[in-house]
Structure 1
Amino acid sequence: MSKIILVTGGARSGKSGFAESLCKARNNSTAYIATSVAFDDEMKERVRKHQESRPQEWQTYEIYKDIYTIIDEISQKHSTVILDCITLLVNNLMFVDGIDIDNATEQEINELEEYIKDQVRKMIEEVKKTDLYFVMVTNEIGLGVVPSYKLGRVYCDFVGRINQMLGQLSDEVYFTVCGIPTKIKG
């Protein structure tokens, strides 16, 4: 039976480090699902730092779309998985079809959100078919100011609702502040 854990918090709150520590405590046969796309030098540096922080034995899967298609394969090789992060997964999926959010209709935005929710739902459904210890990292972006531009508001809405869905579907949820994790579910 799988165990699904969600780790959330603000930027630089220690959420990735805490999630990695949960996995390190279990074993060194961890699969690392990296959802970022290194599109500039700053992002490449962030990716490099994340790579250096995790054990060399961990196998990395760089994917953000159709993650559900590799869950069974991963479960054949690993018992522990970390997915870092949901927030970038949502961001990347928002632009997969080149939709112009600023000029999109409400229907187009609703369809895009349903597509993203479906991607996440399918992933969780596949995880629940396994015995994986599955740790997901996400940003709690709803604690700040609501963006003044449409793209930012739509993104915050999408991430907020995805986080709520994952909070409900997870066995445990942790909120990290100042490097200190607090269990809020499970």
Structure 2
Amino acid sequence: MHKVILVTGGARSGKSYFAEQLCKNIGEKVSYLATSEAFDDEMKARVAKHKEQRPSSWKTYEAFENLKDLVPDMSSSSDTVILDCLTVMANNLIFHSDVDVENATQAEIDSLEKRIQEELVSFILALKYNKLNLVMVTNELGMGIVPENKLSRIYRDIIGRINQVAARYSDEVYFVVSGISQKIKG
């Protein structure tokens, strides 16, 4: 049976490590979908650290949009895909859009969020159609104070709703805190 699994938690909670262990337990043939852009030295160091901790046999893809277009290639060499992470994917889709979030209308924000949801759902459905397992990593941003600025509030709200969509499509959901996972669905 092919599964969709969501792993969520706070920053540096151990989500990626836990998700990678899940993938190792599922099978040997794994595609790693990295959604970040290494745009400065700090991000380059984070990317390098992530690369070091995963098996070199895993095939890496770097993309944050048009993800369903990668599925045919992934299905030819993998039985499991790890997407790390949804929050960075959404961040890149927001900042690569033509929407000036600070000055956008609610209709523009809604349209942007719809595009992000469509990107995610089309990818999940393409993987399911091709009978691939999917392990998604995301950040839980809604457990803190309400952000002071509009951009951060909109981002937090979009991520909260994107995570809800991901959880609805998931067979299992795990919450990770301090490196400890708790299964909360499935």
TM-score range normalised by the length of the shorter chain: over 0.9
CA–CA distance in structure 1, aligned partners of residues 114 and 56 of structure 2 = 36
Task: List per-residue Cα deviations over 1:5-38 (Å, max 9, x = no partner).
Answer: 0000001111100000011123332100000001
CA–CA distance in structure 2, aligned partners of residues 64 and 6 of structure 1 = 17
CA–CA distance in structure 1, aligned partners of residues 95 and 11 of structure 2 = 22
Aligned residue in 1 for 2:129:
129
Query: Residue 173 of structure 2 aligns to a residue in which SS?
Result: strand
Q: TM-score, normalised by structure 1?
A: 0.97
User: Does the CA-based 8 Å contact 1:2-1:130 persist in structure 2?
Assistant: no
Q: RMSD of aligned C-alpha atoms?
A: 1.0
User: Does the CA-based 8 Å contact 1:2-1:129 persist in structure 2?
Assistant: no
- How far apart are residue 72 of structure 1 and its match? 2.5
CA–CA distance in structure 2, aligned partners of residues 47 and 106 of structure 1 = 34
Aligned residue in 2 for 1:169:
169
Residues 1:157 and 2:157 are matched in the alignment: yes
Task: List per-residue Cα deviations over 1:110-130 (Å, max 9, x = no partner).
Answer: 111111111111111111102
Query: Residue 28 of structure 1 aligns to a residue in which SS?
Result: coil
Stretches (4+) displaced over 6 A: none
Q: How many residues align?
A: 186
State the identity %: 53
Query: Residue 38 of structure 2 aligns to a residue in which SS?
Result: coil
Task: Give the counterpart letter for 1:177 in structure 2.
Answer: V
Aligned residue in 1 for 2:35:
35
- How far apart are residue 2 of structure 1 and its match? 2.8
User: Does the CA-based 8 Å contact 1:7-1:15 persist in structure 2?
Assistant: yes
Aligned residue in 2 for 1:26:
26
Which runs of 5 or more residues in structure 1 are unaligned?
none
- How far apart are residue 144 of structure 1 and its match? 1.0
Task: Give the counterpart letter for 2:177 in structure 1.
Answer: V
Which runs of 5 or more residues in structure 2 are unaligned?
none
Q: TM-score, normalised by structure 2?
A: 0.97
- How far apart are residue 180 of structure 1 and its match? 0.5
Query: Residue 141 of structure 1 aligns to a residue in which SS?
Result: coil
User: Does the CA-based 8 Å contact 1:2-1:127 persist in structure 2?
Assistant: no
- How far apart are residue 81 of structure 1 and its match? 1.1
